[in-house]
């Protein structure tokens, strides 16, 4: 798991989950876990600066095992993820 902060203090978190009921937000890039319960997917979460709100949450992955291991955020609030990708996506 890794964490980065943007210029406003929002936290961006990445890692791996095997949860089918992960708290995905409306408009998420990927709504369901592609790896299912046996492999898992990478995820990204943006938490508000005051820690009270999940601003965005999405799965990232395909049918293999995917895991977010590093994350960085630029001055335009674009998040960049690196990790391992059994699905060829990371």
Residue 39 has phi, psi (to 5 degrees) of: -120, -55
Contact, 35 vs 66, CB < 8 A? yes
pLDDT of res. 38: 67
Residue 72's Cα: distance from chain center in Å?
Answer: 12
Contact, 22 vs 37, CB < 8 A? no
pTM summary value: 0.85
Q: Tell me which H or E stretch contains 82.
A: strand 79-85
pLDDT in tens, 35-82: 655 678 899 999 999 999 998 898 888 888 889 999 999 999 999 999
């Amino acid at each position: 798991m890794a964490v980065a902060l943007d210029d406003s203090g929002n936290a961006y978190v990445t890692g791996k989950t095997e949860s089918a009921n992960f708290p995905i937000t409306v408009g998420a890039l990927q709504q369901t876990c592609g790896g299912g319960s046996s492999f898992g997917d990478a995820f990204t979460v943006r938490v508000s600066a005051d820690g009270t709100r999940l601003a965005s949450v999405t799965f990232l992955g395909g049918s293999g095992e995917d895991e977010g291991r590093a994350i960085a955020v630029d001055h335009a609030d674009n998040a960049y993820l690196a990790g391992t990708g059994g699905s060829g996506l990371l």
